[in-house]
Amino acid sequence: MAKPDEPGYYKQEDLLSVDLQPPRTGWMDTEVDFRPGNFIYPGKAKNLQVLDLPNAREWAVTDIDWQLPEAWQKTILDGMAERLGKYRSFKLFMDTCVRCGACADKCHFFIGSGDPKNMPVLRAELLRSIYRKDFTALGKVFGKMAGGRKLTEEVIKEWFYYFYQCTECRRCSVFCPFGIDTAEITMMGRELLGLLGLYVNWVIEPVANCYKFGNHLAIQPHGLVDTLEFMVGDIEEATGIKVDLPINKKGAEILFFTPSGDFVADPGIYTCMAYMVLFHELGIDYTWSTYASDGGNFGLFTSHEMMKRLNAKIYSEAERLGVKWILGGECGHMWRVINQYMDTMNGPADFLEIPKSMVTGTVFERASSTKVVHIMEFLADIIHHGKLKLDP
Ligand code: SF4
Ligand code: SF4
């Protein structure tokens, strides 16, 4: 019999039949139904300990008692107050939604589950209802009538369930006339849960690995060198060409980094080999790093502080190696961190130069702040200038 984390557990007809009928009870009165296969396993104590995170313990989502710390309500409300003061976007998103519903059917979790609380508008409301009750005059006086509700353990369980059913893709924000970014609300929800030691293991274990080894997959420096050497061998076997493998090379023109998924599995390893072949063909002076060995950043799914901690190695390694600028491989959440946060979190990287292609001379003005260029932008410019012979 297949287990919930195995594909065989799920039947196609069950997955295709989505019941869009909302529950009979109001959303505030509908409790979360944790069933095997519909929740993510909690963060293991050993991973929280590595990261010095609070309330490290072994627990199960199906436990009645989640072993929340003493005075946990105060911890959450203080945490909310701190973040409302610190992040203008959070305050704005808590105050702004007009419940027009334009975002409602834009979330794949709602489309796939039919659960109303997976509509972005209602996902945000899970947090907004607590904000109203404790941070607005109307909510304090009129409570539920003004859309506010008390912070209970049930609310915490609901947050855990629904904030980890958002991939932070931001699709919904594209459709919101006010630009409300539900992904940012999800991030706040997860930060607050984290204050109570409530993480999911698929996020916090890679984060712990990254903190210890520089990458999510816990590849140690010598292991990374071996992995890349294997790829060089495979390329030679397939093409007869032995490509260069510069690692931790001081004074290289660019530092190249990519998500660690590119080191271990299909199709990532083919992407990785393609990077090597491309750089060899163009004669690019670059280097890999065994310290900054992951551009991916699961801190984005954990907290701003964690994202900053994991991202710090990129600029710091660029400075140590004395490169001129940075080139990055493909990874969705890695680029969100780079484009939206890196410069203000760990920059400014004034010791780097504005990226300029050594092949075409193009200056990447768009990257003048981050000093990091996406491989596709770099490659498109090379193709545009006819510097690469392609086999049509
Ligand atoms: S589209 Fe924006 S304003 Fe409309 S319900 Fe969604 S979040 Fe609220
Ligand atoms: S950001 Fe979250 S709520 Fe919005 S569409 Fe993506 S998964 Fe759904």
Dihedral sign from CA coordinates of 137, 142, 146, 148: positive
Mark residue 86 as left, alpha or beta (left: phi above 0; alpha: psi -120 to 50; beta: remaining).
alpha
Say yes or no: CB of residue 291 within 6 Å of ligand 1. Answer: no
Average pLDDT over residues 163-177: 95
Average pLDDT over residues 98-125: 94
Average pLDDT over residues 161-170: 95
User: Considering the chain, what percentage of its residues have pLDDT values greater than 70?
Assistant: 100
Structure tokens, 206: 């890679």
> What local confidence, expressed as pLDDT, does residue 19 receive?
87
| Ligand 2 atom closest to residue 120's alpha carbon, by position in its atom list | 3
Res 377 pLDDT > 80: yes
Q: How far apart are CA 160 and CA 153, in angstroms?
A: 11
pLDDT digits (tens, 9 = 90+) for 236-246: 999 999 999 99
> What local confidence, expressed as pLDDT, does residue 343 receive?
95
Distance (Å) from CA 149 to ligand 1 centroid:
20
pLDDT digits (tens, 9 = 90+) for 283-295: 999 999 999 999 9
Number of Cβ within 10 Å of residue 174's Cβ equals 12
pLDDT digits (tens, 9 = 90+) for 217-257: 999 999 999 999 999 999 999 999 999 999 999 999 999 99
CA distances from 330 to 237, 295, 346, 351 (A): 25, 9, 21, 24
Contacts of 368 (CB under 8 A, 6+ apart): 354, 355
Higher pLDDT, 213 or 6: 213
Distance (Å) from CA 324 to ligand 2 centroid:
37
Residue nearest to atom 4 of ligand 1 (CA): 100
Number of Cβ within 10 Å of residue 79's Cβ equals 17
Domain parsing of the chain, residue ranges: 7-199, 204-384
- Determine the number of helices (DSSP H) and then strands (DSSP E) in the chain: 17, 4
Closest to 225 in 3D by CA, of 208, 201, 204, 249: 249
User: Considering the chain, what percentage of its residues have pLDDT values greater than 90?
Assistant: 89
> What local confidence, expressed as pLDDT, does residue 339 receive?
92
Rounded (to 5) percent helix, strand, coil in the chain: 55, 5, 40
Say yes or no: CB of residue 36 within 6 Å of ligand 1. Answer: no
> What local confidence, expressed as pLDDT, does residue 384 receive?
97
Res 38 pLDDT > 90: no
Secondary structure of residue 13 in the 3-state scheme? helix
Res 392 pLDDT > 80: no
pLDDT digits (tens, 9 = 90+) for 117-159: 999 999 999 999 999 999 999 999 999 999 999 999 999 999 9
Res 206 pLDDT > 90: yes
Q: How far apart are CA 379 and CA 21, in angstroms?
A: 48
Q: Give yes or no for a cis peptide into 348 (omega within 30° of 0).
A: yes
